[in-house]
Structure 1
Amino acid sequence: MKIALLTNEIPPIVYGGVATWILNFLDMFKDDPDIEVIPVFLAHLDEPPTDFPERYPGIRIIHGPQDIEKTFQDIDITVNNLWVAFDTTKAIKDRYPEKRMISVCHSLIKMEHLTNLGGDATKSFYEQEITFQYSDAVVLISRAELGHYTSFGYDKYDAEPVVIYNSYTPKLDEIDWRPNYSLNDIGYIGRHVPRKRPDLPILAVERSNRDDVRVFNMGVDYRGETGNPFWEEMGRKHPKQLVIIPFSSNKETVHFYWNSVGANCITGVYEPFGYTMCETLDRRVPAIVQDIDGPKEICELVMDSVFEYHVDKDFEKDIENFKEAVVRFWDTHPDDRASMANHARTALDGFRPEVIKEEWKKVFSSSEIRAKGQYSLSEIEKRKKQAQQDKGEQLY
């Protein structure tokens, strides 16, 4: 079986977490006797480097709908990772309606738009909605994402929604590194967008009146024309307690961060999955984690071994809730922190590639095609039941 892995980002062309997912997917099916994964790169915004064929043997390059026929003629299934350039997705399905199109939703762009307070980058979420309409199946990366998907009415499209978590390969199975469980300092590492609320840790520490605790914040981006006025002001306001580490992929800088914190903070009002959650567990670092979305699902079997806080849309209440979780962490003995972190790490077993790969094989083995304007038997039954339910509700 030949699988086209369609994407517009693959290292060194990286816009976000999708590039990591692409590499993990390629590794997951490497040397599989039954499934050949062929990366297909859409040169939508960036032309591929000349060494792409050496980096990714067998990669195919397309520039738009005009390249569809030749590129996909021998493909059995397309795993689509695009939410822009929907004309390409449409062209593939129009030319090869008999071939399955499985679109991976790495995040719901409409949710990103709502929780990031709008913005040019996400206002075109309708493009993702069009992509869903031309798909035979849509893979959501958490049960919470399926809930959001349904709340927007996307389940009314013909595409079958399926939940498959992202895979995560633990990096520290055989490495002896351990954090300093005596540290009370806490940290945040990751993107700085409104939905992630990266300022919660410093604001909670400020409210706690603990002058002896530092907050390490890594990932602040100063590359804009005006720098980063918000975090520059935060740094001036908390010169002794807030340690700001600019965005960096330097390994030594990353190691400095993890060696400096006693707990890592997973904050925000929307998180589809949570690679940072996985890395925190992998490193056996105590986690202060939100009670929603992907991070909650990752930890659901080890909730007694993380410090959970209740997410509130009201920012002031959210600070208070988060502060209470931080205080619980401070009140926990270092030996108990270590025991909790070691147990919490077992949550990763359900996300290892060999587990997630089997879920993908189930989707690949399905022969259900949802050509535009046609419904599968399961879809027809679902719509019948919904109609009966609606009719019953009208009687009352």
Structure 2
Amino acid sequence: MTRTLEILDRLIAFDTVSRNSNLELAGYAADILERHGFAVTRIPSADGGKTGLYAEIGPTGDGIMLSAHTDVVPVDGQDWTRDPFRLTREGDRLFGRGTTDMKGYLASILSLAERAARADLREPLKMVLSYDEEIGCVGIQEMLDRVAPLIGQPRACFVGEPTEMQVAVGHKGKAALRATCFGQSGHSALAPNFVNALHLATDFVTELRGLQRRFAEQGHRDPAYSVPYTTLHVGLLTGGTALNIVPDRAEITFEYRHLAADPAADILRAIHAAAERVSETYRRDWNGARIEIEQYNAYPGLDVPDSDCVIGLAQKLARTNDTTKVAFGTEAGFFSELGIPTVVCGPGSMEGQGHKPDEYLTLSQLRACDEMMDRILEDLSH
């Protein structure tokens, strides 16, 4: 615990909000790993302002992989009563941005790396550190084609997002989309003579709400989730330049989060069909009316079969008999799609502390994570 806390203190001091570079933190982590015998590969972003890391120690083989991201969410507009980028210990609580999500886990695996250097490993220990997870798993998507050949096929991957050290075997997939609605500009005194792009937009939002109702009332359900069905959410609606001008363009930013039983391709087809229904109505007045749909980001869900051996291994290592599913997205789906048995398990509570002011991690949770790391090291040494 002492070494893990020392590392966590350094990690919190790096302001790795996603809009900033993570190079200093990555350099600190790479130095620890390389000094303790890990082969480290840097995987830079396209602009060179950030980097991911792949690290491995031990003999050639499958082994176990640990995954963490290095970025954190902003503190802007939040009412912090402590310095968010300075680790503050008060009783059983460790305060600081990222303590729960997920620098506590990162500190624990870097501490493990130092202990692994002294172990007689029979299988390799592998680590993947990414960037830009908090803005939609962007970093791992950029890294994947370069990191996949290095990873091989570990027999288990543990993604350390906060689950209170429970074994999470599922989360929904997500897609972020933009709908651009095209109408006609004109003087508002003659508004009925023109197709108002905001009218297309609001009618399309109504269609999306109808699609949401169908998923809620008739769609597949998974009671392991607090919201047990596929969801659609409209987050932004913009359009128009002045009150006396009929807007010729409006934009909607929206998302869907889907159960594994609701394929993304089917949802996307339903969205395009809704856009076409709205457009066709307005084409009676103007043939150029249309709604264009662009998907600008997506990440896969995670749905581990009950029969997968990784569940039993994770339960043994985390000392729990239960499994859970989480509401938030993670990078786990990307590793699962590579054929790597993957679960999510890490210290802290996303619901209780994640992304909030005065974010904290309890010492007991960090201790439980360190103890799991010791059991992973023991598993790799026998």
Q: Do they fold alike, i.e. is TM over 0.5? A: no
Give the shorter-chain TM-score range. Answer: under 0.3
So what's the TM-score if we normalise by structure 2? 0.28
Higher relative contact order (CA 8 A, sep 6+): 2
Query: Which has more strand, going by share of residues?
Result: 2
